[in-house]
Amino acid sequence: MVIMGLFGWYIFLFQSIDLAGAKDPDYPTKPIIFYIQYGAGGTADIAGRAFGDAASKYMGQPFVHINKPGAGGTLAGMAVMTAKPDGYTLGLVAASNAFVAPFSEGTPYKDLAGFTMIVNFGYYIYPWIVRTEAPWKTWKEFIEWTRNNPRAAKIGITGARSTTSMGLMMWQVEKREKVEFTHIPFKSSAEILISLLGGHINVYASTVDASTISYLKERKIRILAYSGPQKIIGYEDALSTQELYGFSIPNLFGVWGPKGLPDYVLKKLDDAFAKAVKDPDFVNVMNQMYLPVHYMDRAQMNKYVEETLPRVGEIIKILKAEEAKEKK
| Residue pLDDT, tens place only, 33-60 | 999 988 888 788 999 999 999 999 999 9
Residue 303 neighbours by CB under 8 Å, 6+ apart: none
Q: Locate CATH 3.40.190.150 in the chain.
A: 31-123+251-318
Q: 31-123+251-318 has which fold?
A: D-Maltodextrin-Binding Protein; domain 2 (3.40.190)
Give the closest residue to 238 by CA, choosing from 165, 322, 312, 130: 130
**How far apart are alpha carbons 231 and 235 in whole angstroms?**
7
Annotation: CATH topology of 126-249: D-Maltodextrin-Binding Protein; domain 2 (3.40.190)
State the pLDDT confidence band at 264, using cuts at 50, 70 and 90. Answer: very high
Cβ proximity of 270 and 119 under 8 Å? yes
End-to-end CA distance of the chain: 79
For 78-129, how does the pLDDT look when each residue is reduced to its tens digit (9 = 90+)? 999 999 999 999 999 998 888 888 887 677 787 899 999 999 999 888 899 9
Give Cα 239 distance to the centre of its chain.
22
Domain with CATH 3.40.190.10 in the chain: 126-249
- Helix, strand, coil shares of the chain as percentages rounded to 5? 50, 20, 35
- In terms of C-beta density within 10 A (0-12 exposed, 13-18 middle, 19 or more buried), how is residue 62 classed? middle
Which pLDDT band, with edges at 50, 70 and 90, does 274 fall under? very high
Give dist(CA 303, CA 310) in Å, integer. Answer: 12
Q: Is the dihedral of CA 88, 112, 209, 199 positive or negative?
A: positive
**What does the alpha-carbon distance between residue 5 and residue 116 come to, in Å, rounded to a whole number?**
43
Reduced 3-state DSSP string for 131-197? ECCCCCCCHHHHHHHHHHCCCCCEEEEECCHHHCHHHHHHHHHHHHHCCCCEEEEECCHHHHHHHHH
User: pLDDT value at position 328?
Assistant: 64
The arithmetic mean of pLDDT across residues 224-245, rounded, is 84
Residues in the chain: 328
8-12, 133-137, 143-147, 153-157: segment of lowest average pLDDT: 8-12
Residue 276 in this model has a pLDDT that exceeds 60: yes
For residues 222 and 134, give the distance between their C-alpha atoms in angstroms, rounded to a whole number: 9
Burial profile 241-273: b = 16 or more Cβ within 10 angstroms, e = fewer: beebbeebbbbbbbbbbbeebeeebeebbeebb
Is the distance from CB of 68 to CB of 80 less than 8 angstroms? Answer: no
Residue 275's CB: how many other CB atoms inside 10 A?
15
Give me the mean pLDDT over the 170-189 stretch: 90
Interval 166-178 mean pLDDT: 90
3-state class of 27 per DSSP?
Answer: coil
Which CA distances in Å does 259 have to 51, 83, 115?
22, 9, 5
CA dist 37 and 21 (Å) reads 30
